[in-house]
Amino acid sequence: MPLPRPGPLEDCVAALAWVHRHIGEYGGDSERLFVGGHSAGGHLYTLASLQPARLARAGLPAGVIRGCMAICFQLNLVFDDPPAGSGEARIYEQFLARAEDDRAASPLHQLPPDGAPPPFLLVHGENDFPRIIASNRRMLAALKRHHLPVRFLVEPGASHFGVALRLADPECATTATLRAWLRDGPSGFEPFREDHSVADVVHPEER
């Protein structure tokens, strides 16, 4: 049985706190920590990145996360009357401890954050699940609306799981961007425009 929220989120924050305390023992730098993941992992660390008060309760300093790199993840968990057996219904049945927790568990509904979040890299596959494509585009528009740094990529022709498989390829655009962020720091942010909308979100090749 999956562990309902907020258990997985607290586990992620505890893991980050452990890494922050001990990474120096392994030759790492506690001031250069990036978080992220594919699918559920991306959702959880985006949620953590938008909740600095939760991070502080775990003993983590402000600005501890240098960048959040989240791939093919669900940003909105609020659905009215989801069809039985659907992925949306399973969110309420397996992930949320209570149906009324849906907004608190949705990164999209944590904006504006209660502090300064890190830069975000949002990625989804061109043929990803429709709910994931829609929520990523809504999140991109929301981050831009709040003047928060974000970069957005679409992996052409890739499915939800296909993006994860492509990460093994050093020539993959997402892999190259991840490596560049880790090496040089976040860059390539989406420009803010007063008249932006979800319709402004286009594939890189369409820019």
**64/190 Cα distance (integer angstroms):** 23
pLDDT of residue 199: 36
> In this predicted model, what pLDDT tens digit does every residue of 60-94 receive, in sequence order?
999 999 999 999 998 988 888 888 888 888 888 88
Contacts with 129 (C-beta within 8 Å, 6 or more apart), sequence order: 87, 160
Residue 97 carries which side chain, given as an amino acid letter?
Answer: A
**Domain that residue 110 falls in:** 7-206
pLDDT means over runs of 10, the chain (207 residues): 68 96 96 94 94 93 94 90 84 84 90 86 96 93 92 96 95 94 92 47 34
Q: Are 63 and 96 in contact (CB under 8 A)?
A: no
Instruction: Give the pTM.
Output: 0.84
| 129 found inside a domain | yes
- Is there a domain that residue 2 lies in? no
Residue 113 lies in a domain: yes
- Give residue 68's pLDDT: 96
Spell out the residues 6+ positions from residue 29 whose beta carbon is closer than 8 angstroms to its own: 23
How many domains, in total, are found in the chain? 1
pLDDT value of position 202: 36
Q: Is residue 34 part of a domain?
A: yes
126, containing H or E segment: none
Tell me, yes or no, whether 1 lies in a domain.
Answer: no
CATH of the domain at 120: 3.40.50.1820
